[in-house]
Amino acid sequence: MVLAPHEPYDSGMDEAAIKNLLVDVRAKRRTVDQAVAQLRHLPFEDLGFAKVDHHRAIRCGFPEVIYCEGKTTEQIVAIAGKRLAGGGNLLATRANPNVARTVRRRFRKAIYNPTARTLTVRQQPPAPARAFVAVVCAGTSDLPVAEEARETCEIMDQPTRKFYDVGVAGIHRLLAHSAELQQAGAVVVCAGMEGALASVVGGLVCCPVIGVPTSIGYGASFGGIAPLLTMLNSCAAGVSVVNIDNGFGGGYIAALIARGAPPEAESGE
């Protein structure tokens, strides 16, 4: 069916949508002018308070993520609407319950994880994955950061396996999972206190380990500075580190790594 001249274009197009548009032009289901109208807002769309980056999925492999802290609920809803118009998936981080309620009323497919404080909307089926990401968490208090990492991996089409409450104070809990951890394409380790768990995991696996220091701990942990420094000084060569409480950043990097995991690092699922 040919798009009528007065019909609005969809912003937020991903790579698949652009390919479909070009196929339509070649098949003469759309005119060149209609294709240009659809692509007019592809680089970014200026909403006045935000410039929505519609091109990011093509450049970086995943659409722009909404960081909710500091934004009004109305701004978040407006950005989400523009992002979802092209049929892609959505991730919003650090969303409080009030924001979540409003977004879920507006977008019925939105799912809220109150522990991670993430909102996700899946409009595209998951792409096949070659490997899983192991999300390792030292203690229950670190769960919000670990869950943010896990939700990020999952919406980026990378399956995860959870290894929670396996801190070094009871290291036998971690060692019981050594064989399964060694099958992962990447590992995210979330830990507070002194942050030693990342080094221990790094000594068990052959894949990259992303350490995520958390702000959990008593006074001398200095709000996450102590585990950050421990992870930065890790003697395990395969450990890299993101910022304090940055579960999103750790999960994002792990998902990118797992996409390129070798065939022997299969998910088995």
Stretch among 25-29, 32-36, 172-176, 259-263 having the lowest mean pLDDT: 259-263
Residue 118 and residue 92 in contact, taking contact as beta carbons nearer than 8 Å:
yes
Mean pLDDT value across residues 90-106: 95
Q: What's the CA dihedral at 118, 252, 81, 30 to 10 degrees?
A: -150
Q: Are 108 and 127 in contact (CB under 8 A)?
A: no
Domain that holds residue 47: 41-121
Highest mean pLDDT among 10-19, 24-33, 68-77: 68-77
Note the pLDDT of residue 55.
54
Same domain assignment for residues 167 and 49: no
Asked if residue 113 is part of any domain, the answer here is yes
Which is more confidently placed, 176 or 260? 176
Both 74 and 142 in a single domain? no
Domain boundary among 52, 87, 121: 121
Q: How far apart are CA 85 and CA 174, in angstroms?
A: 43
138 and 89 together in one domain = no
Residues 116 and 142 in one domain: no
Indicate whether 200 and 115 sit together in one domain.
no
Range 76-90 average pLDDT: 86
Q: What is the pTM of this model?
A: 0.80
Indicate if 139 and 100 belong to the same structural domain: no
Kindly state whether residues 239 and 183 are assigned to the same domain.
yes
User: Is residue 45 predicted with pLDDT exceeding 70?
Assistant: no
Summarize the confidence of residues 173-200 as an average pLDDT. Answer: 95
pLDDT above 50 for 269: no
* Number of folded domains that form the chain: 2
Q: What is the pLDDT of residue 23?
A: 86
For residue 24, tell me if it sits in a domain: no
User: Per-residue pLDDT tens for 139-172?
Assistant: 999 999 999 999 999 999 999 999 999 999 999 9
For residue 220, give the DSSP letter.
Answer: G
The number of residues in the chain equals 269
Q: Considering 82, 101, 121, which residue would you say is the last residue of a domain?
A: 121
Say whether pLDDT at 11 is over 50: no
Per-residue pLDDT, 1: 32
Q: CB-hemisphere CA count at 13 Å for 208?
A: 18
Collapse the DSSP code of 111 into the 3-class scheme (helix H, G, I; strand E, B; otherwise coil) and give the result: strand
Q: Which residue has the tokens 């943010």?
A: 148
